[in-house]
Amino acid sequence: MYFPQFIPYSFIEKEASHVEGFSPELALVTIGGGKELEEKLVVRPTSETIVNHMFTQWIHSYRDLPLKINQWVNVTRWEMRTKPFVRTLEFLWQEGHTGHATEEEAEEEALQMIEVYRKFAVEEAAIPVIVGRKSKLETFAGAVRTYTIEAMMGDRKALQAGTSHNLGQNFSRAFNTQFLDSQGEQQYIWQTSWAISTRMVGGIIMTHGDDMGLMLPPRLAPIQVVIIPIWKTDAEKETVLAAATSVHDQLKKEGVRTKVDASEQKTPGWKFNFWEMKGVPLRIEIGPRDVANKTVVVSRRDIPGKSGKMFGISMDPSQLHSFVIAKLQEVQDNLFNIAVSFRDSNIEDVSSFEDLKAAIAAGKWARGPWAGSDADEARIKEETGATIRCFPFEQPSHSGRCFMTQNAAKEVAIFAKSY
């Protein structure tokens, strides 16, 4: 679907915590077609309100439920300090909105979508994420519960990489979105919303990149293999280009996203650096000697500070193809494993506020039993800059006493500085 991006200000005001959360971030259109508008228009920061305005007109009976919609759109949230991809005044995302007949169904939907995001982050982007529930302070403005996937970037800051909200009946009560249930009773619908954005692009860059540039996980890399032909004489050029084209066509036929960089303005060395910076997972070099030997040189771009060069790989189509497929999978797995090790070696288990302060000061994440109040959480943010990233779904069997309050804690929380 596609909803209008201008939302009447009165829509935003209907759900009390929603307007409270979003009003500092709004861009407002006050002039249209040369005239001052009677009602200000909000440039969509998210679409729950305008979606509910329509849901109220579309939903009448339990037969109309569940209703699930999605849109791919731009959204605007006023930011004073922007950072490319991860905190921008305007960004692109998909936002899903659903309406259900029961609380259970809505909860199931919210959980299913955070699992979709987890799977995408792990399997496609090779980003290990911690899935969990947000604290009350960090819950989406208007939601009952927010689920999140949290990733550790190369600078050890946390990135909230996707969220899924159980909205309960907050918006349906505000917008009077009701349905006739199978017993003939009017009921408010139960809702969810969920989104993942261009921020994920930043997550990929900052999880896998190094000082040489990007490292792209093969599953997502637009170019998986770049082929650099190397020649000096015109005679060499002919045979080397023919071999490069042949290797390219073979790999392409097998579904490998491949590019030959045969431009003559740049040196091979320049091209190596350029495609390394672009994060292409595998590079194939073919020179005159390779043509003679029917081999190629393959390099992988997933080992920080190492060249990853493999010499004398056979040019034979079936052998080279299997080799490339296997190496792409290895790079994918290796990027994920490096990110897991890095993350796990940078999470400290803490059992006191002092521990937490030390962990955060050292640039790490802190994990510990938590039963504090909103005020306790705010104090930690005030003193350390860290916030509760989530209560992870994966909990230790026994969590003990809250490191802050010494109250019995039902679960551990993860604290970190974030983008």
Residue 87: CB minimum distance to a second copy, A: 13
Helix or strand or coil: residue 9?
A: helix
CA distance to 100, 172, 174, 308, per residue, from 177 (Å): 11, 4, 8, 59
The residues, any chain, with a CB within 8 Å of residue 143's CB and separated by 6 or more, are 165, 166, 167, 168, 170, 193
Among positions 8, 13, 64, 78, the unique one binding a second copy when judged by CB under 8 A: 78
Contacting range for a second copy; rule: CB under 8 A; set: 21-29, 306-314, 355-363, 400-408: 21-29
# residues near a second copy by CB under 8 A: 28
Among positions 90, 124, 236, 376, the unique one binding a second copy when judged by CB under 8 A: 90
Residue 210: CB minimum distance to a second copy, A: 26
Say whether residue 23 binds a second copy (CB under 8 A): yes
H helix runs in 82-124, sequence order: 103-119
Say whether residue 80 binds a second copy (CB under 8 A): yes
Here's the x/- map for a second copy, 24-63, by CB under 8 A: it reads as xxxxxxxxxxx-----xx-x--------------------
Of the two residues 45 and 132, which places its CB atom closer to a second copy in the complex? 45
Say whether residue 89 binds a second copy (CB under 8 A): yes
CA distance to 68, 305, 312, 344, 384, per residue, from 141 (Å): 21, 44, 58, 31, 24
Beta-strand relationship, 6-8 and 129-133: unpaired
One-letter amino acid for residue 418 of the chain: S
Helix or strand or coil: residue 168?
A: strand
Say whether residue 1 binds a second copy (CB under 8 A): no
Q: How many other CB atoms are found less than 10 A from the CB of residue 381?
A: 14
Residue 78: CB minimum distance to a second copy, A: 3
Distance CA 387, CA 296 (A): 50
Of the two residues 73 and 303, which places its CB atom closer to a second copy in the complex? 73
Of the two residues 4 and 269, which places its CB atom closer to a second copy in the complex? 4
Of the two residues 71 and 399, which places its CB atom closer to a second copy in the complex? 71
Say whether residue 278 binds a second copy (CB under 8 A): no
Q: Which of 127, 30, 130, 110 is nearest to 66 (CA)?
A: 110
The residues, any chain, with a CB within 8 Å of residue 364's CB and separated by 6 or more, are 156, 346, 347, 348
Of the two residues 74 and 318, which places its CB atom closer to a second copy in the complex? 74
Here's the x/- map for a second copy, 92-111, by CB under 8 A: it reads as x-------------------
H helix runs in 228-384, sequence order: 234-253, 268-277, 288-293, 317-344, 353-361, 374-384
Q: b/e per residue, 312-335, with b = 16+ CB within 10 A?
A: ebebeeeebbebbbebbeebbebb
The residues, any chain, with a CB within 8 Å of residue 332's CB and separated by 6 or more, are 126, 217, 218, 219, 281
Q: How many other CB atoms are found less than 10 A from the CB of residue 353?
A: 19
Residue 32: CB minimum distance to a second copy, A: 5
User: Please, are residues 222 and 288 in contact by the beta-carbon 8 Å criterion?
Assistant: no
Of the two residues 44 and 248, which places its CB atom closer to a second copy in the complex? 44
Which value, in Å, is the radius of gyration of the alpha carbons in the chain?
26
Say whether residue 74 binds a second copy (CB under 8 A): yes
Residue 198: CB minimum distance to a second copy, A: 8
Residue 404: CB minimum distance to a second copy, A: 33
Say whether residue 82 binds a second copy (CB under 8 A): no
Residue 60: CB minimum distance to a second copy, A: 15
Residues in region 283-342 near a second copy by CB under 8 A: none
Among positions 2, 38, 184, 306, the unique one binding a second copy when judged by CB under 8 A: 2
Secondary structure, 3-state, 333-353? HHHHHHHHHHHHCCEEECCCH
Contacting range for a second copy; rule: CB under 8 A; set: 85-93, 142-150, 222-230, 274-282: 85-93
Residue 5: CB minimum distance to a second copy, A: 6
Of the two residues 32 and 363, which places its CB atom closer to a second copy in the complex? 32
Query: CA-CA-CA-CA torsion for 323, 328, 333, 334, nearest 10 degrees?
Result: 90
Binding interface with a second copy (CB under 8 A)? 2, 4-6, 23-34, 40-41, 43, 73-74, 76, 78-80, 89-90, 92
